[in-house]
Structure 1
Amino acid sequence: MNSRVALLLSSFFLSASIGPLDASDTSAAADSMARKLQHIEQNAAAAKPDTTPTELTEPEVNAYLADGRVKLPTGVQSVRFEAQPDLISSTARVDFDQIKAGQHSSNPLLSVFSGVHNVDVRARARAMGHKGYVEVQSVALDGVEIPHFVLQLFLDKYLKPKYPAIGMNSEFALPDKIDAAKVGQHKLTVTQK
C-alpha cells in the first residue's frame, strides 16, 4: 500500500467525531479504506485512469489511522479527523518532547511546546490541477489557541529540518495521478486523470 497516498489523503481529510465504532465496524471501515487506496494506486498505473471519483468517508479514514496502517511521525498519537466543506480539523495527542528529540531552545515562547498535549488543528484544504493546498487557520494546545508567529517559530526550529515542505501554508504535488480532491461534509472525494 502506498503510504504517501494514505498520509496525503489523511492529512487532507478530517473525519467527524460521530461516535466510537465497535471493533468489527472499525476493522471493516479500515479494510474499506485500504481497498479504496489500492484502487487509487492501481488506477494511477493505467495509461488513462478511470475518472470516476473515489469517495473516502470519515469512519474509513479514522479507522485506517486508528488501526495503525499509517506510520505517524514520532510523538504523534491518536489522530482523529473531521471534514466540512473545504475545511478540515484534526485532533491528536502529541508528545512534544519526542518531537523535539533533545533539541532545546532558549526562546521562552517555545516553552509551551513541551510535554504531552491535545492538539487541535483547523485548516482550509483544496486540490486541483494535480496540486494540493493546505492553509492552517488555527492550532490550539489543550484548548488554548497558539499565535501564528509562535507556531512558525516552532515549525522553523523543530519540524522544517525533518520535513522541509511543512508550513502554515503548503502547496504540494498530488501523487498517483490525482487531479482533484474535494473536502465535503464528512467525506473526501478524489478524482484521477
Structure 2
Amino acid sequence: MKLRPTLVVLTVLLPAVLVLVINLGVKAADNSLVASVEKKIEHIQQNATLEHPDEKPTEFTEQEINVYIASGRVKLPQGVQSVRFTGEPDLVTGNARVDFDELKAGRSSSNPLLSVFSGVHDVVVVAHARGMNHQGHVQVESVSLDGVEIPRFALQLFIEKYLQPKYPNIGMTSQFALPAKIDTAIVGQHKLTVSQK
C-alpha cells in the first residue's frame, strides 16, 4: 500500500546576496530532510506488511514535512503552490498560494457568492486533525483569502461545486481510512506522530 503523505510544503527563499554563499548547505540540509522522510515512509510501508506491526511511533517534524512537500514528491492539486503547514496540538494551519482559476479548471458559476474564488490568493486554512482507530478526522475551522475570513456557507458552496466532483470525500468535516495499518496520527507542537497496529 502506497502511503500518501497528507501533510505539508516549505519553500525556502534566500536573499540574493546569500544564495551563492549558503546555497549548497541549504540543498544538503533539504536533501537530508527529504531522505529522512522517505526512510520513515518506507519503514511505515514495510511495517504495514507485517501481521503484527511494530507499534513504536514514527515522528515527522514540521520541517521534514514542509521540505518534503516542497521537494515536489507530493502531487499537489493544479493551481496550489507554496504549501506550508504548522502544527499545534490537534490543530494544523496550512498556508498556500492558490490560483483559483487553475484549480477550477475552466468551470465557472453564475453564483455571485463564488466570485471571491477567482484569481490568485494567499490562503490560510485552520483545521482540527487527528487519527484514531485507523480513521483520520479533519474538521476545517476557518479559511481566509488574503487575510479575510471566508463565511462557512460560501466555503461549503465552493467545496460542493469545485472540489467534491474531483475529490468526493473532501468537505468541511472529513473522515477517511488511514493507510498502511496506521492506528493513530497525532498532531503535536511542530510534529506529527503516527503509530501502527
The alignment's TM-score, normalised by the length of structure 1, stands at 0.92
- CA contact under 8 A between 1:15 and 1:187: conserved in structure 2? no
Cα distance in 1 between the residues matched to 2:54 and 2:9? 26
Which residue in 2 is equivalent to 1:5?
A: 4
Specify the code of the residue in structure 2 equivalent to 1:117.
Answer: H
Q: 1:155 to 1:18 in 2, by over 3 A?
A: same
- Determine what percentage of the aligned residue pairs are the same residue: 59
Q: 1:19 to 1:192 in 2, by over 3 A?
A: farther
Q: Which has the larger radius of gyration?
A: 2
Which residue in 2 is equivalent to 1:46?
A: 50
> How many matched pairs?
187
Q: 1:15 to 1:75 in 2, by over 3 A?
A: closer
Cα distance in 2 between the residues matched to 1:19 and 1:100? 28
C-alpha deviations, 1:60-110, integer Å up to 9, x for none?
100100100101111111110000000000101111001111111111110
Which residue in 2 is equivalent to 1:84?
A: 88
Which residue in 1 is equivalent to 2:21?
A: none
Shift of 1:22: 2.0
Which residue in 2 is equivalent to 1:177?
A: 181
The alignment's TM-score, normalised by the length of structure 2, stands at 0.90
- CA contact under 8 A between 2:55 and 2:196: conserved in structure 1? yes
| Structure 1 spans left out of the alignment, 5+ residues | none
Task: Write out the 4+ residue segments of structure 1 that deviate beyond 6 Å after TM superposition.
Answer: 15-21
What root-mean-square deviation, in Å, do the aligned CA atoms of Structure 1 and Structure 2 show? Answer: 2.0
| Structure 2 spans left out of the alignment, 5+ residues | 15-24
C-alpha deviations, 1:3-52, integer Å up to 9, x for none?
x432x3x1xxx689999792221111111111101110110011110000
Cα distance in 2 between the residues matched to 1:15 and 1:102? 26
